[in-house]
Structure 1
Amino acid sequence: MRVDPCFFCGRPSWPSKGITFMRNDGKSFRFCRSKCHKNFKMKRNPRKLKWTKAYRKNAGKEMVVDSTLQFAARRNVPVRYNRELFQKTLKAMERISEIRARRERVFYKKRMAGKRAREVASARKLVADNEHLLPRLRGSEKRRLAELAAEGVDTDEVERQMLESKRKARAFGGETRRVRMLVDGGVEEVTETTGGGGVHDEDDGFEDEEDDDMDTD
C-alpha cells in the first residue's frame, strides 16, 4: 500500500481518501482534503502558508538534512519477493523510526533553546514600561492598612515596607526566588526558572542524545 504525500501541505494522503486531480497533460495531484485542493486551484504558494510542510521546512522548524530521511525517497525499482528480506526491512523500518524520532526531539530542543529566557525578558520589559498601570497593593493588604489606621498606627511606613518587600520578591512566569546559604556565612539570592514541577535546564540531555545517535549509526 503506497501512501502518497499531499501535493500542497505534505501530509500523508491515504488510499481511497482525499482528492485526486488529473490535469490535461496527464499529471496527477494528490490532496489530503478539500482545503488543500481549493488552495491549489487558487494558485496559492504553499511556502507562504504557515500550516504547510513546505513553510515549516523553509523556516527551519523541521529537520530537513538527515540520513534517516533518505530512506523515505521513492524507489521505482522492482525487487523479487524474498521473505527474509521482507522481515529485515520491517525491523529496519522500526529502528529507523525510533532514531528519527529521537533526532527530531534533539532538533526541537536545540531550536527552542533560550526561548524561556527571551519570554521572561520581554515580560520584564512589558511590566517595566507599564508599571504605572499595575495595582500597588492587594485587597487584603489594603484591609490590613485600614485596620492599622483604625488602631491609630502610622500606615505610611507599613505601606513602604510592603512595597519594598514586593519589589524584592517579584518573579515572572515560572521563576522562583530562593536564598542560598554560603559556606563563609553569607547569603546569596538565586532565581530559578521552573517548568513542569522542576528546575528547567535548557542544555540538559543534548550530549546524551547525540552520543546515542553516534552509537546507533
Structure 2
Amino acid sequence: MRVENCFFCGRPAWPSKGITFMRNDGKSFRFCRSKCHKNFKMKRNPRKLKWTKAYRKNAGKEMTVDSTLQFAARRNVPVRYDRELFQKTVKAMERISEIRARRERIFYKKRMAGKRAREVAAARKLVAGNEHLLPRLRGSEKRRLAELAAERGVDVEELEREELAALAGSKKTKAFGQELRRLRVRTDGGVEEITESAFGGGEAINEDDDDEDDDDEDEMDTD
C-alpha cells in the first residue's frame, strides 16, 4: 500500500481518501482534503502559508537534511515478492521511524534553546518602554513601607512589589470621574452597592430598601 503526500501541504494522503486532480497534460495532483484543493485552484503559494510543510522547511522548523529522510523517497522499481525481504523491510521501517522521531526531538530542543531568555528580554523591554502605565506609590506610602520594613527587618522593594500587586488586583472599578464603585456584603446575606468619592464619603444603594419603599407607597395608596 502506497501512501502519497499531499501536493500542497505535504501531509499523507491515504488511499481512498482525499482528492485527485488530473490536469489536461496528464499530470496528477493528490490532495489530502478540500482545503488544499481549493488553495491550489486559487494559485496560492504553499511556501507562504504557515500551515504547510514547505513553509516550515523554508523557515528552518523541520529537518531537511537527514539520512532517514532518504528512505521516504519514491522508487518505482518493481521487486519480486520475498517473505524474508518483506519481514526485514517492516522491521527496518519501525527502526527508521524511531530514529527519525529521536532526531526530530533533538532538532526541536536545539531550535527552541534560549526561547525563555528571549521571552524574558522582550517582556523587560516592553515594561521599560511602558513604565508610565504601571501603578505608582505615593511618597507617604513609600515612607510607611520603609518604616514597616525597618520594623520587620525585610526588604523595602519586596513590600513595594506586594503593595503594587495588591493595587493591580483591586476589584474597585471607576464609575464617574472621581468616583469608585464597589459591592459590600452585609451580615444578613444581602448585597449593597457603594459609590465612593476620591475625596471621601460614600452613598450606599440597597436593593432591599428600594423594595421596602415601594411597599410603603402601595400601603399609602390603599389607605
Instruction: Normalising by structure 2, report the TM-score.
Output: 0.64
Structure 1 gaps of 5+ residues are 143-153, 170-217
Quick one: which amino acid aligns to residue 158 of structure 2?
S
Matches within 5 A, 1:1-217: 1-136=1-136, 156-160=142-146, 164-165=157-158
* TM-aligned CA distance change 1:91 to 1:166, over 3 Å: farther
Q: Could you tell me whether the CA contact under 8 Å between 1:4 and 1:14 is conserved in 2?
A: yes
CA distance in 1, matches of 2:64, 2:7: 18
Provide the rounded CA distance (Å) in 2 between the counterparts of 1:121 and 1:166.
25
SS at structure 1 position matched to 2:30: strand
1:157-202 per-position Cα deviation (integer Å, ceiling 9, x unaligned): 2235586225789xxxxxxxxxxxxxxxxxxxxxxxxxxxxxxxxx
Segment drifting more, 156-165 vs 123-132: 156-165
Q: Tell me how large the CA RMSD over aligned residues is.
A: 2.2
- How many pairs align? 154
Distance 1:38 1:123 in 2: 40
8 Å Cα contact 2:13-2:31 kept in structure 1: yes
| Letter aligned with residue 144 of structure 2 | V
Cα distance in 2, alignment partners of residues 75 and 156 from structure 1: 76
AA partner of residue 71 (structure 1): F
Cα gap change, 1:102 to 1:157, in 2 (>3 Å): same
Which residue identity does 1:9 align to in structure 2?
C
Identify which of structures 1 and 2 has the higher relative contact order when contacts are C-alpha pairs closer than 8 Å and 6+ apart. Answer: 1
Supply the AA of the counterpart residue of 1:50.
K
In 2, the alpha carbon distance for the partners of 1:167 and 1:61 equals 43
Corresponding residue number in structure 2 for 1:195 = none
Tell me by how many angstroms 1:132 deviates: 2.4
Could you tell me how far apart the structure 2 residues matched to 1:155 and 1:121 are?
30
CA 1:167–1:103 in 2, change beyond 3 Å: closer, same or farther?
farther
Name the counterpart of 2:178: none
**Which deviates further from its counterpart, 97-106 or 122-131?**
122-131
For structure 2, list consecutive stretches of 5 or more residues without a partner in the other structure: 150-154, 163-223
**Residue 47 of structure 1 contacts residue 58 of structure 1 at CA under 8 Å; is this kept in 2?**
yes
Distance 1:167 1:10, change over 3 A: farther
The secondary structure found in structure 1 opposite 2:29 is strand
Contact 1:136 1:163 in 2 (8 A): no
Q: Do 1:57 and 1:64's aligned partners in 2 also have CA atoms closer than 8 Å?
A: yes
| In 2: Cα distance, 1:97 partner to 1:129 partner | 48
Report the secondary structure of 2:110's partner residue. Answer: helix
Asked whether the equivalents of residues 22 and 28 of structure 1 are also in contact (C-alpha less than 8 Å), the reply is yes
